[in-house]
Amino acid sequence: MKENKQKQPYNTLQNTVWALSIGWHTRRRGLILYALVALAEILNNLAGLYIAPKVLGLVERHAALPTLIGAILLFTAALLLTQGGKAYCGKYATFCVVEIRSAIIMLIGRKFNETAYPNTMDPAFQRLGNKALDATESNVSATEEIFRTLSTLLTNVGGLLVYLTILSGLNPWLLALMAATCLGEFAASRYKDNWIYAHRDDGNTYYHKKRYLRDKAESITFAKDIRIFGLQNWMFDLLDSVHDACLAFFLRIEKKRLLVDLVGAVLTVARNGIAYWYLIRLALTDGLTVSQFVLYFTAATTFTAWVLGILGNLSTLNRQSLDICQVREFLEFPEPFRGEDGDPVPKTNRYELRLDHVSYRYPEAEADTIHDLSLTIRPGEKLAIVGLNGAGKTTLVKLLCGLLDPTEGTVLLNGTDIRTFDRKKYYALFSAVFQEYALLSTTVADNVAQSVDGIDEKKIWDCLEKAGLTTTIRALPNGIHTHVGHEIFLDGVLFSGGQTQRLMLARALYKDGPILLLDEPTAALDPIAENDIYRKYSAMTAGKTSVFISHRLASTRFCDRILFLDHGRIAEEGTHEALLRKGGGYAALFEVQSRYYQEGSDF
């Protein structure tokens, strides 16, 4: 509720203009077609309004049968033409506004993919992102429905102006009274709509909970847990509780709708009754003809529909504006890193990375993860970073490759603060294997090349060989063109954790950046496979600067230098042999780990 009371950065008019601007630049034909829909609806309504009075007038004047039939055919043709034109334009306008909504979805997707990494960890960014997706989720979402609302609003405004002209000869107090009953009916409807809209997050919460439980129940990764731990009944109980709460919520909505419908029925009966009384009195005292009576009564009752339509459209437009406002807030969420306005990254074969008194603290954290750390990584150096879980190894890698900016200190590339660079160009320097990785349901080749065009298959096989995955891929039905995963393709294959990690290593090698970052790249491998990677490490890193992170100390022997991190600081530094001779924390941890591989060790 508090969220709805916050001042919106854009008003309804501004959001409407923004949506129309997107529509005009994406598919302006849709806007033109919806304007034609409005015009056709007004003309169709006018034809329907005049057909009965005109026919009755001809009958009253004893017109000839051919004249009567001709009038009927003329109005029928007008009805068919306008109705057909409305249907035709509306159908093709729908396809156009779907394209407009798709264009907005693309903008949202681009924002998700290109935003600075810290934004992805910001709850405010995630909340706005979810709201933006909700506003583009379906054909009735605000980013598409607003164009139909504007078309209907244009219809109602045009119809009201025409009908006011027709009813201008009647008592203005009658029109005022009818407008007043419309306002009362609208107020009751607005109360209901505002209540539903104010509590929409409650309904969305139930929906998201049910969807979450459904997704988990259907998840391949969760299938083992459900069966081994017997989670079926527990999940059913959770789903039942959410379902019952959801039903109770919608029952409250239906009660309010029933009350509003009763109010609307009373006001409608009163409004039509007053119109009947006034027009019958005119017919009895002022000689109002039957055709005029039918015309005025139909126009008077339809007049209320135009008024209610305009009020309803404005209310709907306001609600849709709130959703579109959140889309705009998400798209305009501040970016902490420099983009194309940044300096170009220097082009050279030798890059030196330096951290100058760098500290980093995650938002809401009570202590630094990295604290006053200074480090220089020389061009072509093979550096290993080791330490216990939570020592800050992964955070250090994210600082080096520019995913995070330090809260204190500076990260420099060849002596220049990386914050001055175009961050995307800076990212291009790095090939990386992270602990968390993304494997798409496409072919092996696409996953390695991260592209669908211009793939160098020879290079892919070379990278798979260095990653130790050649035998596995050659055994697949279609080699590197085999699909991965079962989410999309029925013939897709599932890789083990170790095989997936090798595939991610091949992807990093294919990118061929001058700096290679490997964050626990062998964590899912067995000792033999891990040893195979170590033997190929020199070939992988030839001519590159490399940073190898691991909690297995024995894996770092092939590196030029080892950093032993402890609580975000460099506790020890040197080669493997030098650190063992020192007898410090590195040596003690190595001794603990080596016991597991010594025959007869007492654990």
Mapped onto helix, strand or coil, the DSSP state of residue 94 is: helix
Q: Is residue 498 part of a domain?
A: yes
Tell me, yes or no, whether 46 and 144 share the same domain: yes
Structural domain includes residue 227: yes
Same domain, 450 and 417: no
Does residue 366 sit in the same domain as residue 443? no
Q: In 3D, which of 175, 161, 127, 165 has the Cα closest to residue 329? A: 127
Total domain count, the chain: 3
User: Domain for residue 493, yes or no?
Assistant: yes
How high is the pLDDT of residue 596?
62
Task: Report pLDDT for 472.
Answer: 92
Question: Is 273 a member of any domain?
Answer: yes
Closest CA to 19 of 299, 290, 326: 326
Tell me, yes or no, whether 341 lies in a domain: no
Residues 241 and 386 both lie in one domain:
no
* Burial of 257 (C-beta count, 10 Å sphere; 0-12/13-18/19+): middle
Query: String of b and e for 20-29 (b: at least 16 CB within 10 Å)?
Result: bebbeebbee
From the CB of residue 430, how many other CB atoms can be counted at a distance below 10 Å?
A: 21
Query: In angstroms, rounded to a whole number, what is the distance separating the alpha carbons of residues 38 and 157?
Result: 10
Distances in whole angstroms, Cα of residue 382 to Cα of each of 91, 330, 356, 427: 63, 41, 20, 19
How crowded is residue 31: how many other Cβ atoms within 10 Å of its Cβ? 21
Residues 285 and 415 both lie in one domain: no
Supply the CATH number for residue 288's domain: 1.20.1560.10
| Distance separating alpha carbons of residues 307 and 311, to the nearest angstrom | 6
Q: Are residues 361 and 218 located together in one domain of the fold?
A: no
Evaluate whether 327 touches 143 at the Cβ level (below 8 Å). yes
508 and 548 in a single domain? The answer is no
75 with 23, same domain? yes
416 lies in the same domain as 469? no
Q: Does 536 reside within a domain?
A: no
**Strand 561-566 relative to strand 382-387: parallel, antiparallel, unpaired?**
parallel
Q: Quote the pTM value.
A: 0.76
Please report the pLDDT score of residue 248 as a whole number: 83
Query: Of 71, 53, 276, 278, which Cα lies nearest the Cα of 166?
Result: 53
Name the residue range of residue 109's domain: 2-331
**Residue 539 domain-assigned (yes or no):** no
Positions in the chain short of pLDDT 50: 1-5, 600-603
Does some domain include residue 91? yes
Q: Which helix (DSSP H) or strand (DSSP E) does residue 588 occupy?
A: helix 585-595
Can you tell me whether residue 469 is helix, strand or coil?
coil
Single residue among 331, 364, 398 that ends a domain in this structure: 331
Among the candidates 512, 536, 569, a domain finishes at: 512
Q: Looking at the structure, tell me whether residues 28 and 171 fall in a common domain.
A: yes
Supply angle C-alpha 209, 191, 254, rounded to 5.
50
Among residues 331, 365, 380, the one where a domain terminates is 331
In order of 140, 151, 156, 229, the CA distances from 310 in angstroms are 19, 11, 6, 57
**Are 321 and 455 in the same domain?**
no
The sign of the CA dihedral 177, 181, 184, 190 is negative
* 20 plus 159 within the same structural domain: yes
d(CA 54, CA 51): 5
Q: What is the structure's pLDDT at 398?
A: 92
What's the CATH code of the domain at 552? 3.40.50.300
